């Protein structure tokens, strides 16, 4: 996308929304980089497996910026970005990665089972495609309750190999449910290129079989993600039914952990460099500065403030207690 096209796209997006999305992406990036440091052998403070969101920040940010607090988001094993973009507290998230009682899942979920109902993120799952039917079920509940809430489900390209996706698409279309399917296609299903897993890699076209409009967009352009998601969510909210958005993006780190996995021969340095040069944060930063929506000193202040917030989150997590034996059966059964 050239600069002119992006300017035209951004013309209807308020400057305060653009700046807020920039802050969100920076927060996700610096949080994840901090987590990566804590996973390295010299520290190894975190024992929960962490699937880092570095490089994919524009997807969660653009989609969640178009949502209301009462809307639901369902996440995946790569959940940190969705949690932060939906408005989650980084202290609670970091504490969860330390498996502490003050964590958003009270130390029981770790990285892959992040939840926070107060911000509209009922849960995430380590099962590939596991939250897709739950998101559709939530949309059915919204429809039956006749409120205007919308359900959004994030999933990776690997979920396109799961039968539950197609059952969910069929049911959502049949009942015209207020749900938006967001596929984060980062080109790899765990350690396999998507082309080695799917006979047809045009994932967005798969929804059209069920009468659901599908679109493939640049997942590293937060402005495009926001505009497309906003239209889809508004349509869902007004009773027009589901939509399917395939966001082309790329994870800078390996499938799990802090390393880039180049030594494993899974991908080339040239490929990684290509995508790092298309950094979603740098692209929005350049746009904001060129259009005088943000100054360089303001950019520096944002990074400084967010860095301090992440440092405080680590301190909070370190000092927080672990769940005790008496907590074992808490929140397992519903109480009156």
Structure confidence at residue 3 as a pLDDT band (50, 70, 90): very low
Average pLDDT over residues 123-128: 93
Residue 334 has pLDDT above 90, yes or no: no
Residue 179 has pLDDT above 60, yes or no: yes
Find how far residue 179's CA is from the centre of its chain: 16
Structure tokens at 153: 């489900």
Domains, in order of start, for the chain: 3-318 (3.40.50.970)
Mean pLDDT value across the chain: 93
The predicted pLDDT at position 4 comes to: 40
The predicted pLDDT at position 7 comes to: 41
Q: What is the pLDDT of residues 78-100, one digit of tens each?
A: 999 999 999 999 999 999 999 99
Residue 1 has pLDDT above 80, yes or no: no
Helices (H), the chain: 3-10, 15-39, 57-64, 80-85, 90-97, 132-145, 163-174, 222-237, 269-276, 280-290, 296-319
Q: Give the contacts of 290 (CB within 8 A, at least 6 positions apart).
A: 3
Average pLDDT over residues 50-69: 98
Q: What is the pLDDT of residues 141-154, one digit of tens each?
A: 999 999 999 999 99
**Which three-class secondary structure state does DSSP give residue 41?**
coil
The predicted pLDDT at position 8 comes to: 40
Q: What is the pLDDT of residues 285-294, one digit of tens each?
A: 999 999 999 9
The predicted pLDDT at position 336 comes to: 67
The predicted pLDDT at position 11 comes to: 59
Average pLDDT over residues 61-84: 97
Q: What is the pLDDT of residues 249-280, one digit of tens each?
A: 999 999 999 999 898 888 999 999 999 999 99
Structure confidence at residue 9 as a pLDDT band (50, 70, 90): low
Radius of gyration for the chain, computed over Cα atoms and rounded to the nearest angstrom = 19
Q: What gap in Å lies between CA 53 and CA 29, rounded to an integer?
A: 8
């Amino acid at each position: 996308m050239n600069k002119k096209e992006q300017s035209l796209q951004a013309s209807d997006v308020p400057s305060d929304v653009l700046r807020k999305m920039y802050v969100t992406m920076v927060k996700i990036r610096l949080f994840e980089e901090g987590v990566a440091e804590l996973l390295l052998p010299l520290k190894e403070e975190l024992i929960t497996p962490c699937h880092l969101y570095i490089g994919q920040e524009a997807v969660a940010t653009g989609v969640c910026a178009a949502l209301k607090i009462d809307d639901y988001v369902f996440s995946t094993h790569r959940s940190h970005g969705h949690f932060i973009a939906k408005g989650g507290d980084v202290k609670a998230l970091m504490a969860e990665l330390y498996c502490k009682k003050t964590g958003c899942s009270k130390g029981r979920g770790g990285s892959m089972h992040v939840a926070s109902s107060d911000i509209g993120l009922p849960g995430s799952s380590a099962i590939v495609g596991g939250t897709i039917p739950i998101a559709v079920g939530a949309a059915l509940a919204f429809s039956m309750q006749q409120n205007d809430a919308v359900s959004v489900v994030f999933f990776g390209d690997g979920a396109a190999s799961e039968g539950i996706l197609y059952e969910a698409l069929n049911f959502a279309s049949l009942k015209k449910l207020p749900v938006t399917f967001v596929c984060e296609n980062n080109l790899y299903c765990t350690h396999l290129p998507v082309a080695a897993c799917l006979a047809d890699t045009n994932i967005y076209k798969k929804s059209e079989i069920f009468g659901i409009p599908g679109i493939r967009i640049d997942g590293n352009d937060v402005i495009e993600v926001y505009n497309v998601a906003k239209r889809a969510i508004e349509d869902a909210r007004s009773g027009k039914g589901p939509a399917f958005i395939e966001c082309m993006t790329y994870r800078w780190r390996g499938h799990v952990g802090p390393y880039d996995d180049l030594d494993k021969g899974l991908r080339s340095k040239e490929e990684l460099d290509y995508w790092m040069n298309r950094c979603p944060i740098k692209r929005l930063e350049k746009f904001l500065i060129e259009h005088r929506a943000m100054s360089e000193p303001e950019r520096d202040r944002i990074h400084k403030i967010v860095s301090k917030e992440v440092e405080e989150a680590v301190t909070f997590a370190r000092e927080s207690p672990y769940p005790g034996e008496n907590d074992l059966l808490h929140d397992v059964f519903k109480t009156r």
